[in-house]
C-alpha cells in the first residue's frame, strides 16, 4: 500500500491510480511448487489502468477442495495430482469527486486445473483508497463470484484493510512502514506488518533492509517473521524476501522480484 507499484493490481485495485511501471516476481517453495507474476500500469482516461498475469503450480495428494487448502504449508509437499492456476487480471481506478477517494475494480479471469479437471471462473475485486496524512489507506473486497474448486459460493473470499507509507526521510535513511488486517473465507482474522530502512551512499543508489511479522495459521510450520533486502536504482528495483518454515527442506520460501520504473 502506498508504494505505487504495478502489482497493486493483485491486492488493492483502487491504488492503480498512482501506479506505474512494470514488474516481475518469482517465488519458490519446493522443486514442484512455484509461482510467477507480471504486472504493468499506466495512466488512462483520467485514472489508471493495470494488467497482471499470475501462475501457480504444485502437486497435491488428492483432488477437489483438498487440493487447495489455506496457507502455504501444502506447497512444500509432493503429491500425485498436479495442480495449476493461471489468471489474467485487469483493473481500472480513478479519483471520485468526493473526499479525495480513489475507487477501483479488478476482473480476474482464472483457469484452475486439478489433474484432468479444469475450471474457468471470473472473479471481481472492488476497493477504495485515500491518502490520510503521511500514509495511504486502502480497503478491498476480494474474489467476488463462483469458486467451483472450493465450492464456497459467490461470497467474497476475503476483506482486507491495508495501510502504508514509504520514502520518509529520517536523517540519512529512508523509512517505510506497511500493515494489513483481513477477514478470510473461514471467518479467520489475518494480519501482518512490516518496515523497511534504506540507506543511500550516493544519490540514486539505495540499499534497503526489510523485516515483518505475519499471523501464523493453526498447525502451520511457518515462522511469524519475514525478512528481505532490496536495491533501488534510478529506473530499476531488485528485491528478495524470505519466510522460514520449520520443516521445509530449503528452510522456507524465497521470493525474487525486479521492477522497472
Question: pTM (2 decimals)?
Answer: 0.89
What's the CATH code, domain 8-260?
2.40.160.40
Question: Which residues pair with residue 54 across a beta bridge?
Answer: 37, 87
C-alpha 251/C-alpha 244 separation (Å) is 6
d(CA 104, CA 93): 4
pLDDT tens, residue by residue, 142-186: 999 987 666 567 888 899 999 999 878 888 899 999 999 999 888
Residue 209: per-residue pLDDT: 98
**Cα–Cα distance measured from residue 146 to residue 149, given in angstroms and rounded to the nearest whole number:** 9
Do residues 128 and 101 make contact, with C-beta atoms less than 8 angstroms apart? Answer: yes
184-229 tens-digit pLDDT: 888 889 999 999 999 988 888 899 999 999 999 888 899 999 999 9
Quick one: pLDDT at residue 52?
A: 98
- Cα–Cα distance for residue pair 221/77, rounded to 1 Å: 12
| Mean pLDDT for the stretch of residues 128-132 | 95
DSSP state of 8: H
Domain spans in the chain, listed from the N-terminal domain onward: 8-260
**Counts of helices then strands in the chain (DSSP H, E):** 1, 14
Specify whether the CB–CB gap between 22 and 40 falls below 8 A: yes
pLDDT averaged over the chain? 90
Looking at residue 210, what is its pLDDT?
A: 97
pLDDT in tens, 53-68: 999 999 887 665 555 6
Amino acid at each position: 500500500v502506498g508504494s505505487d507499484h504495478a502489482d497493486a493490481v493483485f491486492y488493492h485495485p483502487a491504488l492503480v491510480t498512482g501506479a506505474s511501471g512494470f514488474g516481475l516476481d518469482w517465488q519458490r517453495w519446493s522443486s514442484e511448487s512455484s509461482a510467477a507474476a507480471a504486472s504493468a500500469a499506466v495512466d488512462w482516461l483520467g485514472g489508471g489502468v493495470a494488467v497482471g498475469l499470475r501462475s501457480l503450480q504444485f502437486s497435491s495428494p488428492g483432488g477437489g477442495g483438498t487440493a487447495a487448502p489455506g496457507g502455504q504449508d501444502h506447497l512444500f509437499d509432493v503429491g500425485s495430482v498436479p495442480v495449476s492456476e493461471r489468471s489474467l487480471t485487469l483493473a481500472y481506478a480513478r479519483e471520485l469527486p468526493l473526499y479525495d477517494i480513489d475507487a477501483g475494480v479488478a476482473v480476474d479471469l482464472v483457469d484452475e486445473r486439478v489433474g484432468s479437471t479444469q475450471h474457468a471462473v471470473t472473479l471481481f475485486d472492488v476497493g477504495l483508497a485515500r491518502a490520510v496524512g503521511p500514509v495511504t489507506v486502502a480497503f478491498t473486497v476480494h474474489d467476488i463470484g463462483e469458486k467451483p474448486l472450493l465450492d464456497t459460493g459467490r461470497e467474497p473470499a476475503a476483506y482486507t484493510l491495508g495501510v502504508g507509507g514509504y520514502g520518509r526521510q529520517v536523517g540519512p535513511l529512508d523509512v517505510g512502514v506497511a500493515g494489513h488486517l483481513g477477514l478470510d473465507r473461514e471467518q479467520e482474522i489475518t494480519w501482518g506488518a512490516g518496515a523497511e530502512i534504506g540507506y543511500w551512499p550516493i544519490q540514486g543508489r539505495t540499499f534497503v533492509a526489510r523485516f515483518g511479522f505475519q499471523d501464523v495459521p493453526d498447525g502451520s510450520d511457518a515462522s511469524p517473521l519475514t525478512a528481505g533486502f532490496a536495491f533501488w536504482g534510478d529506473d530499476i528495483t531488485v528485491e528478495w524476501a524470505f519466510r522460514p518454515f520449520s520443516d521445509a527442506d530449503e528452510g522456507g520460501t524465497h521470493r525474487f522480484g525486479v521492477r522497472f520504473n
